[in-house]
């Protein structure tokens, strides 16, 4: 059954109930989802002391240091076979050493060494990554590579008409010149007529962002490889499995559960994309132009920001790095683009050596330097109980055997200030609205899973269909107020080491719509807890039905959503601090609750309130699909209580959430503006 948590098709209601009772909650299966090599590295950390782990890893590192020296002449020969155009980039890589490490790691992508020597493809079909990926169907049919070179001069001239000198043109020049100094680009020079005729040119433009503790504005150069039709030619068959905070938290919780107190580390690769040379035959497609008094041109030698090929190439290499850390050094590590992080038991002091403390992060930095893709030492962080990782503030609470996760204070402060400023002006630029949407999508994942995702939709509306003068609508204003309250008051999320030992509640819901004008649809929810079953039914109240816009489907989508809210409110005591698994037989309803938002505005409101209720109860909620014929809640919506009698289910009086009294009142009010003085004045 698709999205059915593994349920077979063709079950009867009683069979689905029996099957569901044997299924554990998704949270309890999270550890099983860890890659076996990661699990082995974690078990290694549990079985051996800090000192034993350090000395073992030191012996591994010393072996590879010896191999790097022994392979020096072979490295020089390897560099001589690098095409001269990219030699200045590729010579930093110890190709022969990388080949041996790939072999020792049993890594299937043996073409990595060849691509470091000849360059990684910049357009067209990307190589397969083999492992640490998932299959991906392309959203659009890739364009033929020939589109890049067809009508070359005409396309270049059309693009050049859009190149303007911006307020940050001087920044573009200095940043580009800095890349030239770092041997990542060819020297800057004025654009010539021959360039327009012979090279596919890409427009370089400035992106402004705040940076550092002082949050000063800086310019980041970005190249528009979509506009120049290079990104659309790229075809991939897989996508990398990056390691978000969810996997990292599972790693830390695993150690806490067996009484071991972990400590965290992190590393950041220095100029990650810029470590990857461009395929020498594709260099002619990697030239950028911008205007600073005159038109300037420079060519990339290594992968730039803005190219899909840069992302894919880096992921190929960095995925290998993670497996190398797991398999060779037994270091539990995760990766998100160029950020590497991990945690393992570490309360006892690490072995101090002439090299310094032999922490897990030390070995990560050391082996990466040997290969030729060094870490940025200014961003090193080791053996901390509290650390900012991927923009999230993560703290290990030793006594509570728990982990607190929240957006960092820096992000919270900046985002709140931006929201307040927008509310004061009464306007929000579409570009800024898009940034808020991206920020809050990330926040819902970090701090509270899907809580608040429904209240992101007004930001998307402002991004793509802004009001005249970029004025803030009442709906957007309410969403902004909710997000300020959430960031200020309710952003923290705690994970307990005993979370998997919480009670498991299962729920089935259904709705039946009657096409006759007199009927408003019947709702039903069936709940199981500790082997006991309960159910409730409700004819949709007239006052609720009247709040819905007219639809031709008898409001079945809304009714199915209402049924979930009915069950959650009626059986609320059974959901407090519980692990919940819910089953619905409507694809639209399933998608809305899984996404944290709905397409229909009234469904979006219900889902938004629902996820806030879930968070308020301390509940961990997962929802799946059940076939209509297998749904135990189907019968009561049609007056058939046969299965309820077989289950000896008790009937509860129906309760709807209070917020349903006025669906269109907007998000929950999390704060009173008076609490913050003139915050909104």
Q: pLDDT digit string (tens) for 67-114?
A: 999 999 999 999 999 999 999 999 999 999 999 999 999 999 999 999
Task: Look at the block and give the residue holding tokens 């299962």.
Answer: 506
* Mean local confidence (pLDDT), 622-636: 95
* pLDDT, position 136: 54
For the record, the structure tokens of 174 come out as 């200095």
pLDDT tens-digit series, residues 579-628: 999 999 999 999 999 999 998 999 999 999 999 999 888 888 999 999 99
CB-CB contact of 526 with 634 (8 Å): no
- Residue 276: pLDDT above 60? yes
| pLDDT over threshold 50, residue 528 | yes
Taking the C-alpha atoms of residue 405 and residue 499, their distance in angstroms, rounded to an integer, is: 15
The per-residue DSSP string of 120-143 comes to B--SSBPPP--SSEEE---SSPPP
Q: What is the pLDDT of residue 679?
A: 47
Q: For residue 487, what pLDDT band results from cuts at 50, 70 and 90?
A: confident
Q: What gap in Å lies between CA 544 and CA 542, rounded to an integer?
A: 5
Contact between residue 629 and residue 440 where contact means Cβ atoms under 8 Å apart: no
**Per-residue model confidence (pLDDT) at position 196:** 94
Q: Is the pLDDT of residue 416 over 70?
A: yes
Q: How far is CA 312 from CA 127, 231, 309, in A?
A: 9, 11, 5
Q: Report the distance separating Cα 637 and Cα 65, nearest Å.
A: 70
User: Quick check: 271 pLDDT over 80?
Assistant: yes
Q: Does domain 13-26+502-665 have CATH number 3.40.640.10?
A: no
Tokens of 34: 């860890």
Query: In the prediction, which pLDDT does 681 show?
Result: 41
Question: 640-676, pLDDT tens digit by residue?
Answer: 999 999 999 999 999 999 999 998 988 888 776 555 5
190-221 tens-digit pLDDT: 999 999 999 999 999 998 877 666 567 888 89
Cβ atoms < 10 Å from Cβ of 334: 23
pLDDT of residue 552: 72
Predicted local distance difference test score (pLDDT) of residue 642: 94
**Taking 80 as the threshold, does the pLDDT of residue 232 lie above it?**
yes
> In the structure, what pLDDT confidence band is assigned to residue 281 with cuts at 50, 70 and 90?
very high
Among 285, 312, 143, smallest CA distance to 225 is for 285
* Helix, strand counts (H, E) of the chain: 24, 23
How far are the Cα atoms of 266, 345, 406 from residue 331, in angstroms, in the given order? 12, 11, 25
Q: What is the pLDDT of residue 71?
A: 98
For the chain, domain boundaries: 13-26+502-665, 34-390, 406-495
Pairing of strands 493-496, 504-512: unpaired
Measured distance CA(164)–CA(461) in Å, rounded:
29
Query: pLDDT confidence of 513, banded at 50, 70, 90?
Result: confident
In angstroms, how far is CA 517 from the centroid of its own chain? 45
- Percent of the chain past pLDDT 70, that is, above it, reads 92
Could you report the per-residue pLDDT of 164-185, keeping only the tens digit for each? Answer: 998 999 999 999 999 999 999 9
Pairwise CA distance, residues 292 & 489, whole Å: 46
For residue 208, give every residue at least 6 positions away whose Cβ sits within 8 Å of its Cβ, in sequence order, or none: 168, 217, 218, 219, 220
* 380: number of Cβ within 10 Å: 16
Any idea what DSSP says for residue 34? S
Most confident of 80-89, 249-258, 553-562: 80-89
Check whether 296 has a pLDDT greater than 70.
yes
Quote the distance between the C-alpha of residue 422 and its chain's center.
27
Nearest one of 622, 666, 660 to 483, comparing CA atoms: 666
Q: What's residue 678's pLDDT?
A: 47
348-357, 391-400, 476-485, 541-550: range with lowest mean pLDDT: 348-357
Q: Residue 517's pLDDT band (boundaries 50, 70, 90)?
A: very low
Average pLDDT over residues 40-61: 95
Q: Does residue 117 have a pLDDT over 90?
A: yes
What is residue 251's DSSP assignment? H
Q: What is the mean pLDDT of the chain?
A: 89
| Mean pLDDT for the stretch of residues 297-302 | 97
3-class DSSP assignment, residue 234: coil
557 — pLDDT class (breaks 50, 70, 90): confident
Question: What pLDDT is attached to residue 519?
Answer: 59
The mean pLDDT value for 346-361 works out to 81
Edge-first strand order for the sheet with 189-190 is: 189-190, 294-299, 287-292, 201-211, 216-223
């Amino acid at each position: 059954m698709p999205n059915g948590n593994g349920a077979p098709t063709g079950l009867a209601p009683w069979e689905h109930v029996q099957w569901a009772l044997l299924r554990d909650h998704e949270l309890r299966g999270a550890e099983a989802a860890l890659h076996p090599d990661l699990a082995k590295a974690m078990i290694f950390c549990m079985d051996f002391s800090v000192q034993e782990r350090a000395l073992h890893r030191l012996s591994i590192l010393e072996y590879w240091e010896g191999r790097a020296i022994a392979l020096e002449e072979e490295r020089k020969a390897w560099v001589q076979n690098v095409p001269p155009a990219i030699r200045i980039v590729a010579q930093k890589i110890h190709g022969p050493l990388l080949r041996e490490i790939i072999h020792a790691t049993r890594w299937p992508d043996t073409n990595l060494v060849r691509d470091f020597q000849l360059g990684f493809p910049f357009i067209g079909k990307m190589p397969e990554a083999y492992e640490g990926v998932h299959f991906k169907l392309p959203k659009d049919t890739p364009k033929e590579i020939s589109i890049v070179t067809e009508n070359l001069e005409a396309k270049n001239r059309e693009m050049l008409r859009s190149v303007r000198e911006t307020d940050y043109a001087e920044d573009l020049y200095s940043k580009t010149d800095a890349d030239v100094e770092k041997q990542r680009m060819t020297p800057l020079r004025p654009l010539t007529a021959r360039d327009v005729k012979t090279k596919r040119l890409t427009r370089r433009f400035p992106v402004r962002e705040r940076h550092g503790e002082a949050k000063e504005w800086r310019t980041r150069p970005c190249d528009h490889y979509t506009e120049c039709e290079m990104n659309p030619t790229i075809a991939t068959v897989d996508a990398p499995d990056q390691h978000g905070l969810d996997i990292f938290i599972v790693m830390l919780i695993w150690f806490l559960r067996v009484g071991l107190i972990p400590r965290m580390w992190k590393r950041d690769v220095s100029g990650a994309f810029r470590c990857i040379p461009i395929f020498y035959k594709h260099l002619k497609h990697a030239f950028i132009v911008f205007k600073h008094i005159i038109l300037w041109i420079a060519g990339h030698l290594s992968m730039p920001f803005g190219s899909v090929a840069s992302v894919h190439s880096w992921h190929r290499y960095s995925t290998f790095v993670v497996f190398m850390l797991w398999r060779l050094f037994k270091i539990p590590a995760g990766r998100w683009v160029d950020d590497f992080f991990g945690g393992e038991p570490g309360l006892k002091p690490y072995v101090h050596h002439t090299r310094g403390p032999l922490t897990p992060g030390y070995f990560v930095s050391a082996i990466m330097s040997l290969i030729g893709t060094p870490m940025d030492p200014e961003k090193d962080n080791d053996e901390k109980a509290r650390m900012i990782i991927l923009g999230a503030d993560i703290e290990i609470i030793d006594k509570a055997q728990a982990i607190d996760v929240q957006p960092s204070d820096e992000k919270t402060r900046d985002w709140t200030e931006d929201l307040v400023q927008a509310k004061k002006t009464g306007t929000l630029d579409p570009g800024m609205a898009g940034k808020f949407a991206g920020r809050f999508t990330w926040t819902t994942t970090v701090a509270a899973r899907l809580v608040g995702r429904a209240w992101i939709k007004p930001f998307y509306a402002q991004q793509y269909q802004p009001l005249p003068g970029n004025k803030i609508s009442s709906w957007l204003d309410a969403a902004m107020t909710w997000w300020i309250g959430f960031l200020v008051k309710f952003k923290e999320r705690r994970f307990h080491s005993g979370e998997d030992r919480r009670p498991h509640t299962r729920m089935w819901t259904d709705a039946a719509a009657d096409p006759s004008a007199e009927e408003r649809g019947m709702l039903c929810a069936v709940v199981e807890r500790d082997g006991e079953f309960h159910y409730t039914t409700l004819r949709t109240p007239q006052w609720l039905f009247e709040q819905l816009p007219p639809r031709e489907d008898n409001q079945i989508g809304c009714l199915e959503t209402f049924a979930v809210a009915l069950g959650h409110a009626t059986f609320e005591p059974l959901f407090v601090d519980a692990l919940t698994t819910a089953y619905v037989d409507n694809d639209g309803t399933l998608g809305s609750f899984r996404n944290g938002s709905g397409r229909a505005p009234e469904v979006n409101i219900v889902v938004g309130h629902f996820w806030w209720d879930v968070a308020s109860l301390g509940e961990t909620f997962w929802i799946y699909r059940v076939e209509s014929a297998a749904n135990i809640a189907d019968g009561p919506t049609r007056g058939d209580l046969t299965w309820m009698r077989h289950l000896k289910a008790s009937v509860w009086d129906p309760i709807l959430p209070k917020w349903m009294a006025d669906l269109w009142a907007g998000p929950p009010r999390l704060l009173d503006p008076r609490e913050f003085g003139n915050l909104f004045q």
